[in-house]
Amino acid sequence: MFALGALSFLLAAQPIISSVGFGVGGTILGVDRPELGYSDPSELIAPQYTGFVALLVPALVVVLQLRRRFWRAVGAGVGLLGVVAYMFAPNLHVPTRYYYINGIDPATAIYFLAIVGGLAFAALAPSLPGGIRRVVYVGTTALVVVNAILGVQAMYAFQFVNDTSLPTATEQIARRSLASVDGADLRHRIAPLSATESVLFNYFAKKPELRDYYAFAQLNVDWLYWAYDTLYHPPINPARYQAVLDWYGLDELTVSQVDTKGEADIAALDFMRLDPDTRNTQFRLYRYLTPSTLAALTAAPLTVVVADRSGYDRTARLLFDAGASPRTRVPIWWSETLATLPDELTTRANAVLIVGDRLGDPTRAAARTDELTAHGAKLVWDVGDLAATATLPAPWPAERLQRVVLDRWDVVDRGGRIRSEDFSAASYDGEPWGASAPAGARGTVELSASGQPIIVSSARGQGTLTILGGNLLYHAQSKANAAERGYVLSFLGPPANGAEREPVWRFVDPERREIESDGTAVVLKESRYAKWQAHMVDADGRVRSVPIFYAGPGLMLVLDSTLPSGWIAWGLTVLGGAIAIFLARRESVFVPAPRASRRVDSEDE
């Protein structure tokens, strides 16, 4: 069993090892999915389910073999219990970041019991005597032969022929519905709902698809699920819907008879239009009226999220729910600390959201804080998950943290931006809401609950520092509360409107794009992958490597590392030094000029 597992790991090494570099959407373990469904206990014992045989028989063998093959039986038992524990972890309210294998719903994992149970049985079942073994071999061979003979006869006796070239074939209907799509369009992406449409479209068209298993399903499977869930499953959030369209450069999508539950909501969106030629067909084509392109320049505010995978995943989804996209606001993930924030992000960030213990080295973090606020950046520190005994460094506007436990939101906002009744219930798993919050305020209390500070802020340079307590980011995201979401995001500053434009660019081949930029941030709407590289070619032909940052749902953002403000600063410094040297060589500098003698005219003249 262990040898088979090791071999499986080796064969799957590419996606497993590579996923480490793919970020949130491509990670295998450690994501928060509180919406996972529960497993039905009857699946373990009901005869119509695999678990009846796959669990009970191997479990019986484990019990019988405990005395003879103790350690092997224990290993097999642990394997069986592991699958059962995975299946029922949502029922027990275990946080998904501790066990969830991305893309494998625990409620559908009953088939794992057949695999693990079969391996356990093979490892523990006693060997059969030679005569009985031969009988089993002969009987098994006879069953296979009989099934093969009957299968061939049944195949020829079956009158239906699946001719996909017939005009009435599903494949041909799908092809006719997609006939109006420009298959040579490399500037946008299409989202076919069904596999039939996707395969047919791939045969005859070059246009990129959202359902691209190599570009998204392998690299960012979780973001792909999020995108399809947004596009097709009600209730539809128009802001998030448009954000998905913009992030992936989608200009067209289809709805088929396979899944129509969200079509009425799609048709009601004022930015979507049904192609009239597909109205009464099995596959309806909808077009986005204002599509963005796969390569884009964005002047939208850049919001750097300094967090681990789970923190970015939670925060990014909150921003997307509010419509964050290259047109409005661009979230960028920095997985290290504030202290190690690179210069490109430090000088260009409009806001920085720090989630948890991510300041890093205090001295360097304080220096980065001053650099960011010097050009007006807003820094928000979400401290809800930190220990309630933690002390906070200067210049943050609170001395320490304290534990707050709330059974209701009796809040007072300094500016009256939110009311108590705007909050969802202050509860978690049936218990009162508890989290860390700032204490010993050194700034302005923006929000208090039951008289205790929850949000504290202070001005710093041209920007602001805000401590966000009460785990309000998670509360807003987990409760899907639009009022809470808008309130907590207001501390990052306002989003832009229409801040994206198409550059002059060229699709060279699937592994290369050429994009012209005037120094504006470049968004390439392909999955960020470790092997992608970006090079800036200056007007004089000089080539420089520039970093690629993780933006939005696992896509790529490039900033010119030779920033104009940086060059201006260096230029002024050099100019100042030259002037200082020039003045130092003079015998006297900055002395007042002698007064000119006043001319006295003689009255005799």
CATH at 562: 3.40.50.880
The C-alpha atoms of residue 580 and residue 289 are separated, in whole angstroms, by 59
Comparing 45-54, 481-490, 535-544, 592-601, the range with the smallest average pLDDT is 592-601
Q: At 585, list the tokens.
A: 């060589």
- Domains contained in the chain, number: 3
- Residue 330 sits in the same domain as residue 196: no
How far is Cα of residue 446 from the mean position of the Cα atoms in its chain? 29
Q: At 5, list the tokens.
A: 């597992």
Q: What is the DSSP string of 162-189?
A: --TTSTTSHHHHHHHHTTTS-TT--SSE
Residue 587 within a domain: no
Tell me the backbone φ, ψ of residue 235, rounded to 5 degrees.
-75, 140
Q: For 347-370, write each residue's pLDDT tens digit.
A: 999 999 999 999 999 999 999 999
- Residue 207 sits in the same domain as residue 74: no
Note the pLDDT of residue 231: 94
**What range does the domain containing 56 cover?**
2-124
The C-alpha atoms of residue 448 and residue 370 are separated, in whole angstroms, by 27
pTM of structure: 0.74
- Residue 337 sits in the same domain as residue 269: no
Residue 45 within a domain: yes
CB atoms within 10 A of CB 338: 24
Q: For 395-426, write each residue's pLDDT tens digit.
A: 999 999 999 999 999 999 999 999 999 999 99
Note the pLDDT of residue 224: 85
- Residue 212 sits in the same domain as residue 357: no
Q: At 136, list the tokens.
A: 């089993």
Kind of pairing, strands 283-288 and 534-537? unpaired
Residue 160 within a domain: no
Q: For 31-50, write each residue's pLDDT tens digit.
A: 667 667 788 888 888 877 77
Local confidence band at 569 (pLDDT 50, 70, 90 cut-offs) = very low
Cβ neighbours for 293, distance < 8 A, ≥ 6 positions apart: 187, 188, 249, 502, 505
Between the CA atoms of 204, 210, 213 and 218, what dihedral angle is there, to the nearest 10 degrees?
160
The C-alpha atoms of residue 365 and residue 240 are separated, in whole angstroms, by 33
Residue 167 within a domain: no
Local confidence band at 19 (pLDDT 50, 70, 90 cut-offs) = low
Q: What's the mean pLDDT in 59-72?
A: 89
- Residue 250 sits in the same domain as residue 319: no
The SS3 of residue 566 is helix
- Residue 246 sits in the same domain as residue 305: no
Hey, which bits of 363-415 come out as E strands?
378-382, 398-406, 411-413
The C-alpha atoms of residue 566 and residue 347 are separated, in whole angstroms, by 8
Given a contact cutoff of 8 angstroms between Cβ atoms, the answer to whether 207 and 189 are in contact is yes
Residue 475 within a domain: yes
- Residue 371 sits in the same domain as residue 520: yes
Between 582 and 76, name the one with better pLDDT.
76
- Residue 327 sits in the same domain as residue 205: no
Q: For 191-227, write each residue's pLDDT tens digit.
A: 998 888 888 888 888 999 998 765 655 567 778 889 9
pLDDT of residue 163 exceeding 70, the answer is yes
